[in-house]
Structure 1
Amino acid sequence: MNEQIRQLAPTALWNHFADLNAVPRPSKKEERVIDFVKKFGEVLGLETKVDEAGNVIIRKPASKGMEDRETIVLQSHLDMVHQKNSDTTFDFNTQGIEMYVDGDWVKAKGTTLGADNGIGVAAIMALLSSTDIAHPPLEALFTIDEETGMTGALELKGGLLTGKMLLNLDTEEDTELTIGCAGGIDATATGNYQQVNAPVGEAFELSVTGLTGGHSGGDIHLGRGNANKLMNRVLLELTGKYDIRITDINGGSLRNAIPRESFATIAVEDKHVAAVKETVAQFAEILRKEFKTTDPNLLLSLNGTVMPTQVMDKEFQQKLLRVIYACPNGIYRMSPDIQGLVQSSNNLARVLVEDGSYSIQCLTRSSVETEKDDLRMAITSAFELMEANVTTGGAYPGWQPNPNATIVKLMSDTYKEMFGEPAHVNAVHAGLECGILGRNYPEMEMISFGPNIYGAHSPDERCQISSVQKFWKYLLEVVNRIPVKK
């Protein structure tokens, strides 16, 4: 199937993308892809360096006649989000992504595609390997671990880069030029609980599946269902009416992905079995109606399973459900200054409760640092009411827009000239590495752009072929127009 991809235009970019997607590259396990990119630079005979964090830097001298131009930094991240459908058998640690062409789209079979940010990486590789594209001096920066902590950007030292303009190729709408983004912080609540003997009765697996999911920053404003929240809502409804007991809950996966699935095992006394089945069926219809637009494939189901020997202590069970119910999720505040921009949000990303211990994970985002701290405190306070141990980490700053930067004007003018309409110059709620990189390179102008990539961070991720062609044409023209050094 990947041979279809190699026939697409521009062939250099798509071939590099196919090569990249053959290399497993989960966040925090990027050793193989670091080695892949390092060897790529060395085979080309270009100056190649891997820094202490694992970021790869490759330098390419200017093409003839462009030696006097400003050096530009081309930046993308090497890692990808690993998500798959529950019925898909796939090992991200050993397998390459299985891609196919569907009309004007490139998709993956039941998994994330890795176009975020693999298309950006492939575009940079195509520029580095080209022999006939005019370009100024290039510094390619391939960062690691963008998706689960941005540690590559955080640990990149000052002085390694000489360029004064940075093109980040990690935006997912081809009409947008991004010049600002939100910061983020992780919050994790953990603890232990008592287990007691399961009651006499029947056991069931309660499942919430089929949700759309998506990027917990870029898609948070779309009102899509959060599987952890919906599962908790159903469980609290059931425990309020019947004496059901919960054995375990397993929902969501990654902090930066809106949870698409959640599963719980419950024990039900015989006298309540029929009523529980009827309540779940009623709730399935309620949720189907509420989320018919955003999550048309939502499925709430109840299936028999093996009766467990242990269940949660009843007092803990009620505390847990009420605290999760109280935990903020989704939009916290819209920007009062920029129309349509989410200012602060939280993603209740992961709920794992089993065998006497629990872990609940959130990712909080905001373009206002003080508001990010306020939301973090709201989450912390909720979980501390059940005496959870709440820790925070992985904090990264936002990126403050500079609409007057030279690179912004150059790219805006070029876009309008090429495509006959103005680009949408904006800030986004998703996290980008530019704000972090700017701490050690405060004089560097930065901008982010890219092709249409929809459904990022979910198995519905897809990349538009015609948009990649537009993006590539635009990138080459921008590179050609980089100004002479001052």
Structure 2
Amino acid sequence: MNSDIRNIEPKLVWNMFADLNAVPRPSKKEERVIQFMVDFGKKLNLKTEIDKVGNVIIRKPATSGMENKKMIVMQGHLDMVHQKNSDTIFDFDKEGIKMFIDGDWVKAKGTTLGADNGLGVAAIMAVLSSSEIAHPAIEALFTIDEETGMTGAMGLEGGVLEGEILLNLDTEEDDEIGMGCAGGVDVTATRSYSEEETPENTTAFKISVTGLNGGHSGMDIIKGLGNANKIMNRILFDGFANFGLRVSEINGGSLRNAIPRESFSIVSVDTISKDAFLFETNLLINNIKQEFSTLEKNLTVEITEIASPKSVMNLGVQEGLTKSIYTALNGVYRMSPDVDGLVETSNNIARVIVKEGEIKIGCLTRSSSETNKSDLANSIRSAFELSGFDVDFSGEYPGWLPNVNSEILKIVTNIYTDIFKENPEVAACHAGLECGILGQNYPDMDMVSFGPTIRGAHSPDERASITSTQKFWKFLLAILKNVPKK
């Protein structure tokens, strides 16, 4: 188990990762991991501080002969996405991640692994703890709450950092060097509804949509994966249109930055229509499975008869809800006209909750274009406001504009080519990195992003490549040796 992880090369990195993964660190509940990092810095007798919002900064002087090099900021985020399979018993607030090795991959048992961004954090810790690695003066910046709002990066004040170059270690393809990223905004639609007593002579069912891949709502949105909330809504819409289906509860998805893997609902139909409803709905389910047969081989939709619920939604609100979710875009809105293959703008309908007279729908809209981000967010707003929802925008953060003249970008690109005898992919990504936010208060800081290969981030299928981590570590050490002079 976790002890096996500690024997993987480079041992220094994997041991730091194992130590980090023993600490519960959900977004917005980072108190324990903040203290863990403070204790780590102080144990090394390095200058360690916590800023006003909870970011941890650890400073380490240059090694001998490197004093004339530019100071660098090595940056990663402390929090991790907490996702687990529905049949996995695990308490993220109390337990450390249970890891195991599967061939070239490190995985977790039924939960997210935390390699996003735990491996980047572990690499920084490894550099800080080593007395043998050559490096310039370092400011290690460990931010909080990257996954659910980037409030750590937003709260970092100007003047705190002195470094001229920022190495963000939060990219998930080892042959990719990041030079830009998308911004985002949370779109939340809410409204209340009156509950009605469940009509007599009805039969109740629990509908379960499970087995989807899920994944990162930015990096994986281009894949066209199934969204459990959209699939569930399609079933409910059809049942309402053809059989007068009534909704009692819906609980779909989880975090905004995760493509929803599961959705559950409690519904009722007239008993006289029971058999026709089941027949028609199973035909629809088979069609949906066929549509996703290539991408979602484990998609499962089950309809189970249950005891009748006490109440159902008001019909008018139910109709507006299902039509709004049908109307609201989910997936890619626009591809970049400037960067081949890059998603410019997208939306993820991440969370749908209907219960006890209250509806809450959470989306995450992303774009590398501020104007198109606003355009799509307003489109989503309109879809829900037309059905009487109140819609709020929150947690907005900017993208990171590419700098093709970046000195550090040229250096790391050349280092990659020299070491690995091939050219890296130099690109912007459709994900939220903290570089854009940090650049607001540090506009002159030269930035680049890279990291080891991680698959399935933000889902229980998350896994980190062992050989890729070795490659990433070799690359990082070479970069530290070749930082430009002041």
TM-score range, shorter-chain basis?
over 0.9
Q: TM-score, normalised by structure 1?
A: 0.99
Match of 1:475, SS state, is helix
Tell me which residue corresponds to 1:175: 175
Residue 250 of structure 2 corresponds to residue 249 of structure 1 = yes
Tell me which residue corresponds to 2:148: 148
Kept after mapping to 2: 8 A contact 1:280/1:300? no
Tell me which residue corresponds to 2:323: 322
**Take 1:484 and 1:152, find their aligned partners in 2: how far apart are those partners?**
30
Bigger Cα displacement from structure 2, 323-332 vs 194-203: 194-203
Tell me which residue corresponds to 2:137: 137
Match of 2:303, SS state, is strand
Q: What amino acid sits opposite 1:378 in the alignment? A: S
**Take 1:32 and 1:5, find their aligned partners in 2: how far apart are those partners?**
22
**Take 1:467 and 1:23, find their aligned partners in 2: how far apart are those partners?**
24
Tell me which residue corresponds to 1:418: 419
Tell me which residue corresponds to 1:386: 387
**Take 1:287 and 1:243, find their aligned partners in 2: how far apart are those partners?**
21
Tell me which residue corresponds to 1:110: 110
Tell me which residue corresponds to 1:45: 45
Residue 456 of structure 2 corresponds to residue 455 of structure 1 = yes
Q: Could you report, residue by residue, the CA deviation over 1:382-440 in whole angstroms, capped at 9, with x for unpaired residues? A: 11111111111000000000121110010000000000000100001101000000011
CA drift of 1:201 comes to: 2.3
Tell me which residue corresponds to 1:366: 367
Q: TM-score, normalised by structure 2?
A: 0.99
CA drift of 1:284 comes to: 2.1
CA drift of 1:243 comes to: 2.1
**Take 1:244 and 1:220, find their aligned partners in 2: how far apart are those partners?**
31
Listed as ranges, the matches of 1:44-123 within 5 Å are 44-123=44-123
CA drift of 1:306 comes to: 1.9
**Take 1:313 and 1:484, find their aligned partners in 2: how far apart are those partners?**
68
Considering only aligned residues, what root-mean-square deviation do their CA atoms show, in Å? Answer: 0.7
Query: Identity rate of aligned residues, in percent?
Result: 58
Match of 1:258, SS state, is coil
Q: Could you report, residue by residue, the CA deviation over 1:418-477 in whole angstroms, capped at 9, with x for unpaired residues? A: 000001000011010000000110110000000000000000000000000000001001
Q: Could you report, residue by residue, the CA deviation over 1:226-272 in whole angstroms, capped at 9, with x for unpaired residues? A: 10001001111111110221101110000000000000001122111
Tell me which residue corresponds to 1:190: 190
CA drift of 1:293 comes to: 1.5
**Take 1:280 and 1:6, find their aligned partners in 2: how far apart are those partners?**
50
Match of 1:277, SS state, is helix
Tell me which residue corresponds to 1:12: 12
Tell me which residue corresponds to 2:34: 34
Q: What amino acid sits opposite 1:171 in the alignment? A: T
Q: Could you report, residue by residue, the CA deviation over 1:130-188 in whole angstroms, capped at 9, with x for unpaired residues? A: 01111111110000000000000001011111110000000000000000001000010
Match of 2:267, SS state, is strand
Tell me which residue corresponds to 2:292: 291
Q: What amino acid sits opposite 1:297 in the alignment? A: N
**Take 1:252 and 1:177, find their aligned partners in 2: how far apart are those partners?**
31
Tell me which residue corresponds to 1:24: 24
Tell me which residue corresponds to 1:432: 433
Match of 1:121, SS state, is helix
Kept after mapping to 2: 8 A contact 1:326/1:382? yes
Kept after mapping to 2: 8 A contact 1:72/1:136? yes
Match of 1:57, SS state, is strand
Tell me which residue corresponds to 2:236: 235
Kept after mapping to 2: 8 A contact 1:174/1:451? yes
**Take 2:291 and 2:101, find their aligned partners in 1: how far apart are those partners?**
33
In structure 1, runs of 5+ residues without a counterpart are: none
In structure 2, runs of 5+ residues without a counterpart are: none
Q: What amino acid sits opposite 1:386 in the alignment? A: S
Match of 2:39, SS state, is helix
**Take 1:316 and 1:152, find their aligned partners in 2: how far apart are those partners?**
38
Tell me which residue corresponds to 1:464: 465
**Take 1:235 and 1:96, find their aligned partners in 2: how far apart are those partners?**
38
